[in-house]
Amino acid sequence: MRQIDARRRGLLKTGGLAAVFFALGVRSAPSRGQEHKPRLDENEAQAVQLGYRHDAATVDKKKFPTYKPGEVCEKCQFFQSKAASEEWAPCSMFPGKQVNANGWCSSYMKRTS
C-alpha cells in the first residue's frame, strides 16, 4: 500500500511540475514570437539564387532582366510588414528572415491590395 501511495505522490508531483512548466511555456510564447527575426544576408545561397539585394537599385539587371525600376519588397505580396513604414519585415520567400523594404528579388510579385 505504501509503495502505491508513494507512486501516486510521485506522479502528482511530476504532473504538477509538468503543468507549471507548460503554463510558463504557454505564457512566454507570445514574447518569443515577437522577437525580431534575423535579417537576410545577401550572400546566403537562396538570396543569391533569387538575386536578392537590400537595395533594389543595385540589382544586376543583366542577370535579372525581369527587374523593373520601382519594384521593391514593400510593394511585393510576399513582404509581410505590419506597418506601412517598416524598414525590415519577414518575407514568405525567405522563411525566418527579414528583408529590407527597399530590397528586391526575382520572386517579386506586385501587391494587388
Q: Using one digit for the tens of pLDDT, what is the confidence trace for 23-59?
A: 444 333 333 443 579 999 999 999 999 999 999 999 9
CA distance 58 to 52: 10
**Structural domain count of the chain:** 2
Residue 66 and residue 87 in one domain? yes
Same domain, 31 and 83: no
Residues 78 and 49 in one domain: yes
Q: Cell 532582366, residue?
A: 65
In this model, does residue 106 exceed pLDDT 70? yes
Helix-then-strand count for the chain, H and E? 2, 2
**In a shared domain, residues 100 and 85:** yes
Dihedral over alpha carbons 12, 15, 17, 21 (to 10 degrees): -160
57 shares a domain with 31: no
Copy the grid coordinates of residue 20. Answer: 507549471
Which 3 state secondary structure label does DSSP give 110? strand
Same domain, 24 and 45: no
Residues 20 and 67 in one domain: no
Local confidence band at 18 (pLDDT 50, 70, 90 cut-offs): very low
**Domain co-membership, 27 together with 50:** no
Rounded Cα distance, 52 and 48, in Å: 6
The range of the structural domain enclosing residue 20 comes to: 1-35
Q: How far apart are CA 44 and CA 38, in angstroms?
A: 12
Q: Pick the range with the lowest mean pLDDT from 9-23, 53-67, 73-87.
A: 9-23
> Do both 47 and 102 map to the same domain?
yes
pTM greater than 0.75:
no
In the DSSP assignment, the letter for residue 10 is: H
